[in-house]
Amino acid sequence: MRVVVVHPNPDTARELLAVLSAELPDADMAIWSPDYAHQADYAAGWLPSAEFFAQQHSLRGFFSAWAGVERILASSTLPMTLPIIRLEDAGMGAHMSDYCVTAVMQWVRRRDEYEQQQRERIWRQLPPHDLAEWPVGLFGFGVLGRRVAAAFDVLGFPVHGYARTAPADAPFPCYAETGGAGDFGAFLRATRVLILLAPLTPQTQDRFNRETLAQLPRGAYVVNVARGGLLVDEALLELLDNDHLAGAALDVFRQEPLPPEHPFWAHPKVRMTPHVAAVTLIVPSARQIAGKIRRFHAGEPVSGLVDRTRGY
């Protein structure tokens, strides 16, 4: 079995190679470069160049070292029948849960208001919020979505999700396009804190525009840790400015880095971070990839196989 690692960051490529080599001791391992002289059976990594797929035309599978695969699927030289297998959690779930809970608790505990009072030297105790009045709705109810949902559930928040198809084993109420508790509009109307966790696909691109965001209850909040393309910036800003929405915590954007002239930078209701909500951990990611390669090579079922018609 011949496996190549491809990654735009040389240090990350070397780390992936080291762990994969230890996990797959019988495999012939190498880091791909344009002068690589062999045809590999499998490749692991992220953001392969067009030249990579053009040269490596005998691959049996590509194992992504990232949960999102939209940029791989956009490659002009990606073979139409090549199986793409994505990461599932690999340590990202804990980071994502912590990020989302922290963002929401800032609002629930009225930290912005207390910080303003501190600047104005005002000593005033504000009424506490009742968590029962803060239903959290997660758009995207896969592996990461369920981890985030569980974190809020433990704290006492009402939790529900929205998925393309309602999972049979969902531990929380789930709205869905098919087989769920209700439609998209019902999901939005039941949500005070909307957390975006779905992949970017043709179906989710611009899904949260003025029409859909306006269906959230007045005073709702938005957290985007998925992809910037799910959320229409101008619509979010309009609804924040007219006070229909109370705040937003954004970790991902349509253009990254975010241009310095973008209004998000200075908006008083927007909190931003530079795409750090869920950092990919090399060791657990590489170990997961190695396990998937072993199963795939043995002809066994592998989770994380990308459905190209869905885009994830």
The residues carrying an active-site annotation are 227, 275
Q: Which of 16, 88, 21 is nearest to 48 (CA)?
A: 16
Give the separation between CA 156 and CA 150, rounded to whole angstroms: 10
Residue type, 240: L
Q: Is 171 left (phi over 0), alpha (psi -120 to 50) or beta?
A: alpha
Chain centroid, CA 311 distance in Å:
13
Based on the number of CB atoms within 10 Å of its own CB, is 208 exposed (0-12), middle (13-18) or buried (19 or more)?
buried
Query: Which residue bears the tokens 């310095």?
Result: 260
Query: How many beta carbons lie within 10 A of that of residue 298, not counting itself?
Result: 8
Tokens of 5: 């690692």
Helix H or strand E segment including 72:
helix 70-73
Give the separation between CA 202 and CA 254, rounded to whole angstroms: 15
Could you report how far apart the first and last alpha carbons of the chain are, in Å? 26
Give the separation between CA 130 and CA 54, rounded to whole angstroms: 57
Give the separation between CA 226 and CA 162, rounded to whole angstroms: 14
Give the separation between CA 86 and CA 88, rounded to whole angstroms: 7
Residue 217, SS3 per DSSP: coil
